[in-house]
Amino acid sequence: MPRKLIAGNWKMNLAPSEVGAYAALLKERAAEAVEKVDLLVCPAYPALPLALAAFDESPVMVGAQNMHQELSGAFTGAVSGEMLIDLGIEWVILGHSERRHVFGEDDQLILQKLQRALELEMRPILCVGELLEEREGGRTEEVLRRQFKLTLGELEPKELKRLTLAYEPVWAIGTGLTATPETAQEAHELLRGLLREKLNEDAAETRILYGGSVKPANAADLLAQDDIDGVLVGGASLDPDSFAAIAASAPR
């Protein structure tokens, strides 16, 4: 079984000038945790070079929050996967609910980004999850199956093995609400089954993260579930102490 992955999505927070102090604290606080888990931080674009330098020669990995599907061109304000690779970035979050529901990215666009990231041999974290009205309408399984089919359905097994999935119920992101460990496990079990249809026994090697108001108080119970292979942390990742505590809560 793969090691748990504890990933922090800083979103549009923490300026480049704040990265050095953050990194120093996280490396100190998480010194023991990184012996048993993989630790990843995803700063905003301007902070990436400083984060790479600050975490150089440490176990903490650095990723990006998004990328454009094209390699280059007249796309003002966009950043390509090749540019990220040139910096030294391998990990990238794709399909986050805020990209879907705030910026209007649909499954077709997310698939294009995913295919490009895999073509460039990056390590994408693909986010899926349902809205509150979809959950209340009993449509969670329908939504997850659709998102899986439209973004992962045509990928080859070797490509599926390179990515990480993240289940993020949209109603739990930044709201303080969190899916119960049992509810999260149900969704993860469904996604694991979909992976198994394509990968057979190798489905266990693809990590599925949970994201949605993860904090030190609930991380241990979430990470103890059979099909939860890590967490994608938003607000709590902005505090090195909280983020390190989440990492430390992962079972050995």
- Give the model confidence (pLDDT) of 85-142 as tens digits: 999 999 999 999 999 999 999 999 999 999 999 999 999 999 999 998 898 899 999 9
Name beta bridge partners: 9: 42
Active-site hit among 68, 96, 98, 130: 96
| Average of per-residue pLDDT across 163-190 | 89
| Average of per-residue pLDDT across 210-234 | 96
Q: State whether residue 33 is helix, strand or coil.
A: helix
Residue pair 7/223 in contact by the 8 Å Cβ criterion: no
- Please report, rounded to a whole number, the percentage of residues in the chain having pLDDT higher than 90: 87
What CA–CA distance (Å, rounded) separates 208 from 151? 15
Of all helices (H) and strands (E), which one includes residue 18?
A: helix 16-29
Name beta bridge partners: 208: 165
For this structure, is 96 an active site residue?
A: yes
Tell me: domain 5-248, CATH 1.10.510.10, correct? no
For this structure, is 101 an active site residue?
A: no
Active-site hit among 98, 105, 130, 168: 168
The two structure tokens encoding residue 198: 């394509």
Q: Is the pLDDT at 252 greater than 90, yes or no?
A: no
Which residues, 6+ apart, have CB-to-CB distance to 115 below 8 Å?
A: 69, 155
Distance of CA 177 to the CA centre of its chain: 18
Confidence of residue 1 (pLDDT cuts 50, 70, 90): confident
Q: State whether residue 226 is helix, strand or coil.
A: coil
What CA–CA distance (Å, rounded) separates 173 from 188? 17
Mean predicted lDDT score pLDDT of the chain: 95
pLDDT confidence of residue 174: 72
Confidence of residue 39 (pLDDT cuts 50, 70, 90): very high
| Average of per-residue pLDDT across 165-172 | 91
Q: Is the pLDDT at 227 greater than 80, yes or no?
A: yes
pLDDT confidence of residue 186: 95
Confidence of residue 172 (pLDDT cuts 50, 70, 90): confident
Confidence of residue 236 (pLDDT cuts 50, 70, 90): very high
Q: Is the pLDDT at 201 greater than 90, yes or no?
A: no
The two structure tokens encoding residue 248: 């430390």
Amino acid identity, position 131: L
pLDDT confidence of residue 8: 98
Q: Is the pLDDT at 154 greater than 90, yes or no?
A: no
